Structure 1
Amino acid sequence: MTPGPSLERLMRRLAETPGEFLGEPRIGAVGTVATAALVGDLLRGAGIAIDRQMLARFEGDRPAERNRLMLVAVTVWLLADDWVGTPSRDGLLGLLDDTVGELAATGHAQAFVEDAERREELARTVLAALELLPEGEDARQAADRLSAVSATERQRLIRASREAEERARLVREALIRKAAEESADKYTRE
């Protein structure tokens, strides 16, 4: 990982996201923000060749995609700055498609602009996806802080905890059944 910009710079940029980037994403014939066009402009600006198929994943056709597309637009705003450099095509598309999709499932896009903790989460997530470190942090510090503010990490830990509890419950039930069977066998023999 290489050094990146200061976290404060990114959080300030997020806080200053223009209202146009938070507008209603175009889904079918409804909405004003053409998210695919924003992504296309960002990719062209980074010197990345684009095609129609690549941008299709940023065109909404279902209302359920609204929040994801809004967060993609906010992320494009964050990335449309001189600190970005020249990210790889796959890294940038993975960030905008997969990573932002996961983040969008944890809260409303507007929160990533208005709430300081969510701004930090988005800024740190973007830096990590681009393999950059926040200014003044080493890899361990950056990873620790990202896991501390990451709602997706919290959800993963909650899921893992629930799965572990379920496995423990199944083991307990199996032990109780086995003890009951052994007790019944012992009673039958006597």
Structure 2
Amino acid sequence: MAADDTTPLGRWLARDDDEEELWRRLAPGPPIDEVARRISAVPRSFLEPGLSVRALVGDVLDELVPDPLAPLSAPARQAAEVAALVDADRHDAARRGAAVALWTWASEDDLGPTDPRLLPWAAARVLAAMAWRLAPVVDPREWLADAERRDEAARTFLFWSGQLPAGEDVATARALLESRDSLRRDQSLGQALEEQRHRVEVLRRLREARAREAAARPGHE
């Protein structure tokens, strides 16, 4: 499948995020039920048509990761770049997906912090996953109405945040996420995803080979 880079899925596939590497370095996260509870509590204002995701990034993320030397911190700036594309594309489901992700961080104000806290450092990657990977396949309104789809959204959010659900090891968390992965279960879309994963793996091996070659050169310290 040749994805158009201006479609949500096309934008996701163009990112080449290394899923395998992320599974190897997950940090401890909160219970998955707690993340799902926050998703279910998203205010209606976050789902309004025409909502500016870019504006939400500044409101939500800069409070969590402030930078006294810049209008936006580095994670917020990177997330703002994704948000600007989401806004420009005018894909309603993608916009809702990004907004729900931002609410999940913002929910600290109303519901208190999770334990451990949700990490905002990979916010751009999380926004991309929720807006471009999941939302076009499962509309965020289904995340609110259906418990299994909400669990999928919570697991997607936590994984791309770089966190492991509390009480689960990597094998369990991976099996549960993959069993709910709506994109992978769609035959045609899943093929495009597998092609992306293969491309990322080839690039990773190439980088490793180049690093080994560089280390073997005379004079390398």
After TM superposition, the structure 1 = structure 2 runs for residues 42-61 of structure 1, keeping only pairs within 5 Å, are 42-47=60-65, 49=73, 55-59=80-84, 60-61=87-88
Is structure 2 residue 53 aligned with structure 1 residue 35? yes
After TM superposition, the structure 1 = structure 2 runs for residues 41-190 of structure 1, keeping only pairs within 5 Å, are 41-47=59-65, 49=73, 55-59=80-84, 60-63=87-90, 65-80=91-106, 81=108, 82-83=113-114, 84-88=117-121, 91-155=122-186, 159-160=190-191
Q: Using CA pairs under 8 Å that are at least 6 residues apart, name the structure with larger relative contact order, 1 or 2.
A: 2
Is structure 2 residue 41 aligned with structure 1 residue 16? yes
Distance 1:159 1:12 in 2: 28
Contact kept, 8 Å, 1:133 with 1:139, in 2: the verdict is yes
Q: Would the alpha carbon gap of residues 159 and 39 (structure 1) be closer, same or farther in structure 2, given more than 3 Å must change?
A: same
Q: Which 4+ stretches in 1 moved above 4 angstroms?
A: 50-54, 156-159
Q: CA RMSD in A?
A: 2.6
Once the two structures are superposed, what CA deviation does each residue of 1:103-128 show, in whole Å capped at 9, x if it has no partner?
12202121122211111011101111
Task: Please tell me whether Structure 1 or Structure 2 has the larger radius of gyration of its CA atoms.
Answer: 1
**What TM-score, normalized by structure 2, do the two folds share?**
0.60
**What TM-score, normalized by structure 1, do the two folds share?**
0.69
Distance 1:8 1:106 in 2: 22
Match for 1:23: what amino acid?
E
Once the two structures are TM-superposed, the CA of residue 96 in structure 1 deviates from its matched residue by 0.5
Q: Which moved more, 1:127-136 or 1:139-148?
A: 127-136
Q: 5+ unaligned residues in a row in structure 2: which ranges?
A: 1-25, 67-72, 195-221
Distance 1:127 1:52 in 2: 20
- Please state whether the residue corresponding to 1:70 is helix, strand or coil: helix
Q: 5+ unaligned residues in a row in structure 1: which ranges?
A: 27-32, 164-190
Once the two structures are superposed, what CA deviation does each residue of 1:35-77 show, in whole Å capped at 9, x if it has no partner?
11112222202215158786254242344x2210111111111
